[in-house]
Amino acid sequence: MKNTMLKYLLFICLPITLGLEAQTKFASVFGDHMVLQRNTNIKVWGTDAPNTTVKITASWGVSKSVITDAKGKWYGTLKTTKAGGPYVLEAKGSGNAELNDILLGEVWLCGGQSNMAMKLKGGPGQHIEGSNDIILNSTNSNLRFFTVNKAVSETPLNSCVGEWQVSRPKTAAEFSAVGYAFGLRLQKYLGVPVGLISSNVGGTPAQAWTSKEVIVSEFPEFKKDFSKEINTKSATVLYNGMIKPLIPFTLKGAIWYQGEANRWNAEQYSRLFPAMIKNWRTQWNQGDFPFYFVQLAPYIHGKEGWVKLQQAQLKTMLTVKNSGMVVINDIGAKTRIHPPKKKEVGERLALWALAKDYEVEGIAYSGPTFKSIKIEKNKAFIRFEEAPLGITSLEKELTNFEISDENGKYHPAKAKIIEKGMALQVWSDNVLHPKHVRYAWKSYVEGSLFNTAGLPASSFCTENWDVILKQ
């Protein structure tokens, strides 16, 4: 009798269980404790049975009804208000889905390879400077994280694995150190909730984070990746698995720390990286949203390809609209590809956002960038942008300058700051007729050229880009 009754209960419950699996769901990037972009129109989407009306309701006072398509997907747009919360977001269709403890604030995507993926607690044998104290003081209900689990896919995915978490020692320790420092500086200054989405995999090149359409049309040299077994370095596979599922979750902008895996072809990267940025912006359909990135840190084992990759990054900053680059040649680690000063990196990224996107006046956000060169007899005179009060060595010795002779050969050079910081004089006793100057042209240097805000100048060369990036 018991067995008969059990079979009966299973019979009547099974259809209900199967039905629940097809009921109303939000997309995987949505969840309890998330942050949604304030003061804008956000995209909200999910799944339900085909041709079903789904009513989306937000407790800040808006709602919208949408109908699922033939594949059961639904999309809607909701207007958000000023920063605040907690709120509830609900979707009612064939079932009911409810998300709680939602805040409205600022949302940023943190992408790249291992230097962005590096957790606040550090990695095996590699510390993050000051991490224990930072973790101890990380409890902050207005700072929240979503980390996308690694996913490699040959085709674009609709979902990813991850969950929104409120910042506290246990969760902060596991989050991106650079992302945490960036988000914390924004949150503290702005006084609003900040949500960070981390999507990173160590050792990965930019082509892995770029869609197949762009690779096929602009970089046919990577098409061979589509005919062999894939891994995290294969073209498009991380875009498919770890970026596509996030689109079109409404963002304020993105920060990026990557490039080491592309160092063998700087000229290619000078085209690939801007193409990837454009690709993301096109897919998100939010216009030219802010995209700020980190130049490669000094590293003794990088060899010359390192410097040329830095130049490809510099060119990207100077040519791609609404982009910015953080230079860290003063806080590198000679024998560590993962420098421990991640707090400074994240905070410098935040300076770009605060100045450019949150209209904070009076702060510097960029180090000096080369503007012009003038040759007078045996000396070169160089001027810089992003140095309104001039340049300085911060009381260091000016080092790592070179000057070329009439045959194009570079020689070690001396440098002197003149005109109350408004110009740099460079010369060599071995060069009577100089042509060009370059600075920090080695894989490992300790930066000695700054603006008066203490932000370092990038490595640079006064020759044209075709010469600089020539393989």
- For 329-347, the pLDDT digits (tens) are 999 999 999 999 999 999 9
Query: What residues form DSSP beta bridges with 103?
Result: 35
Q: Which residues, other chains included, contact 1 with Cβ-Cβ below 8 Å and sequence gap of 6+?
A: none
- Give the DSSP per-residue string, 112-128: ESHHHH-BTT-BTTB--
Do 61 and 164 share a domain, yes or no? no
Q: Is 2 part of any domain?
A: no
Contact, 438 vs 430, CB < 8 A?
Answer: no
How many structural domains is the chain composed of? 3
Length of the chain in terms of residues written = 471
**Domain final position from 102, 123, 157:** 102
pLDDT of residue 14: 40
Q: What is the pLDDT of residues 143-196, one digit of tens each?
A: 999 999 999 999 999 999 999 999 999 999 999 999 999 999 999 999 999 999
Q: Which residues, other chains included, contact 322 with Cβ-Cβ below 8 Å and sequence gap of 6+?
A: 288, 289, 290, 291, 356
Query: What residues form DSSP beta bridges with 200?
Result: 112
Do 74 and 184 share a domain, yes or no? no
Q: What is the pLDDT of residues 204-261, one digit of tens each?
A: 999 999 999 999 999 999 999 999 999 999 999 999 999 999 999 999 999 999 999 9
Residue owning tokens 């609209």: 321
pLDDT reading at 326 higher than 80: yes
Do 212 and 264 share a domain, yes or no? yes
For residue 243, give the DSSP letter. Answer: I
Which amino acid type is present at position 146? F
Q: Is the pTM of this model over 0.85?
A: yes
pLDDT of residue 386: 98
* Mean pLDDT, the chain, whole residue set: 95
- Preceding omega of 248 cis (within 30 degrees of 0): yes
* Cα torsion angle, 42, 46, 52, 56, sign: negative
pLDDT of residue 304: 72
The Cα 252–Cα 447 span in angstroms is: 32
Q: Which residues, other chains included, contact 191 with Cβ-Cβ below 8 Å and sequence gap of 6+?
A: none
Do 48 and 175 share a domain, yes or no? no
Contact, 268 vs 235, CB < 8 A?
Answer: no
Q: Which residues, other chains included, contact 113 with Cβ-Cβ below 8 Å and sequence gap of 6+?
A: 200, 201, 202, 203, 204, 257, 258, 259, 260, 261
**Domain final position from 331, 356, 381:** 356
β-pairing verdict for 410-418 and 460-461 = unpaired
Do 225 and 84 share a domain, yes or no? no
Judged on CB neighbours under 10 Å (0-12, 13-18, 19+), 76 is middle
Q: Is 9 part of any domain?
A: no
Q: Is 469 helix (H, G, I), strand (E, B) or coil?
A: coil
**Cα–Cα distance list, 226 to 152, 219, 236 (Å):** 13, 13, 9
Do 66 and 170 share a domain, yes or no? no
Contact, 138 vs 169, CB < 8 A?
Answer: yes
pLDDT reading at 15 higher than 90: no
In 3D space, the residue among 301, 283, 378, 298 whose CA is nearest the CA of residue 341 turns out to be 298
β-pairing verdict for 53-58 and 62-67 = antiparallel
Query: What residues form DSSP beta bridges with 402?
Result: 412, 438
The number of beta carbons lying within 10 Å of the beta carbon of residue 426 is: 24
In 3D space, the residue among 441, 462, 450, 330 whose CA is nearest the CA of residue 386 turns out to be 450
Which amino acid type is present at position 250? T
Q: Is 1 part of any domain?
A: no
The Cα 329–Cα 122 span in angstroms is: 21
Do 265 and 408 share a domain, yes or no? no
Q: Which domain holds residue 35?
A: 23-102
Q: Is 361 part of any domain?
A: no
CATH number for the domain including 192?
A: 3.40.50.1110
Q: Is 412 helix (H, G, I), strand (E, B) or coil?
A: strand
Q: What is the pLDDT of residues 63-116, one digit of tens each?
A: 999 999 999 999 999 999 999 999 999 999 999 999 999 999 999 999 999 999
Q: Which residues, other chains included, contact 74 with Cβ-Cβ below 8 Å and sequence gap of 6+?
A: 45, 46, 47, 48, 52, 54, 66, 67, 68, 91, 93
Do 221 and 169 share a domain, yes or no? yes
**Domain final position from 80, 102, 124:** 102
